[in-house]
Amino acid sequence: MLSLIGVHKSFGENNDFEVIKDISLSVKQGEFVCILGPSGCGKTILLYLIASFLRPTKGEIVMEDEPVFEPDRNRMMIFQNYVLFPWKTVYENILFALDRSTMDKNEKNKLVMKYLNLVGLSSFKDWYPYKLSGGMQQRVALARALVTNPKVLLMDEPFAALDSQYREFLGRNLEMIWQKTKKTIIFVTHDSKEAIYLGDKIYLLSARPAIIKKVYKVNLPRPRNSLDQGFVKLSKEIEKDLSKEFEKVIKDPSMEESLSHILNFSHEEGTL
């Protein structure tokens, strides 16, 4: 369904700031794919490339046999920081995603309520974002992305700011939504256990410049239990491989550039 073919991404006047190096991967329709890697390795940049917020320096991104160059509603991004309109209610935030739709008012209302029910927030439809917890705001963002019926959801560490207990709850909630909607999901995380719990397949990225260090197929029955022998075994394997990449970052702190610093290059280039 979606493929990256020899994708590179560098920044700077002479493309001397290399972030992504020769990444090729494929995602099947309905698959839940996790991208795992150390801080600053380029996981978010990779999502931005898939969303067409950035263009590859070299290589190609193909969806349904067609190269993609511009953002569209078939690939919806869910960010870490929710990105809700503070002056709009929960209902209005989700409705806004249908602003250009030709559906009539009743159809839009039914669709918004369908996804509010799916994320368990129908009773909060008239609330404003400031009244909601971080986890609730992220569920609103998820409903807003789903209401447009995208083919692919791109999720950039959506639960990173939440405590571990709430993360587990939202992970279970996301798994349920994925199974009901059969969406294709590409999910960035730095948590190996979260990746094992959610993913059909896990791509481990190296320290920057990021290459695909290893691919893990998660052949464990759902719902998954972190205490199961197979889960524990895979977790140890991934943690061992991931720790080697973290060691590279510790030895060379320049590998851990913040996303905001990297994206300054993009603004200078006019690509964002």
CATH code of the domain occupying 2-74+152-269: 3.40.50.300
Q: What is the pLDDT of residue 265?
A: 45
Q: What is the pLDDT of residue 268?
A: 45
Q: What is the pLDDT of residue 260?
A: 52
Ordered DSSP codes for the chain: -EEEEEEEEEESTTS-EEEEEEEEEEE-TT-EEEEE--TTSSHHHHHHHHHTSS--SEEEEEETTEE--S--TTEEEE-TT----TTS-HHHHHHHTTTT----HHHHHHHHHHHHHHTT-GGGTT--GGGS-HHHHHHHHHHHHHTT--SEEEEESTTTTS-HHHHHHHHHHHHHHHHHH--EEEEEES-HHHHHHH-SEEEEEPSSSB-EEEEEE---PSSP-TTSHHHHHHHHHHHHHHHHHHHHHHH-GGG---HHHHHHHHHHHT--
In angstroms, the CA 164 to CA 111 distance is 31
- Nearest CA to 24 among 51, 44, 53, 50? 50
Q: What is the pLDDT of residue 39?
A: 86
Length of the chain, please?
A: 272
In angstroms, the CA 150 to CA 50 distance is 14
One-letter amino acid at 33 equals: V
In order along its 272 residues, the chain shows pLDDT tens digits of 999 999 999 998 888 889 999 999 999 999 999 999 998 899 999 999 999 999 999 999 999 999 999 999 999 999 988 789 999 999 999 999 999 899 999 999 999 999 999 999 999 999 999 999 999 999 999 999 999 999 999 999 999 888 888 889 999 999 999 999 999 999 999 999 999 999 999 999 999 999 999 999 999 999 999 999 999 999 999 999 999 998 888 877 666 655 455 555 454 444 45
Domain ranges of the chain: 2-74+152-269, 83-149
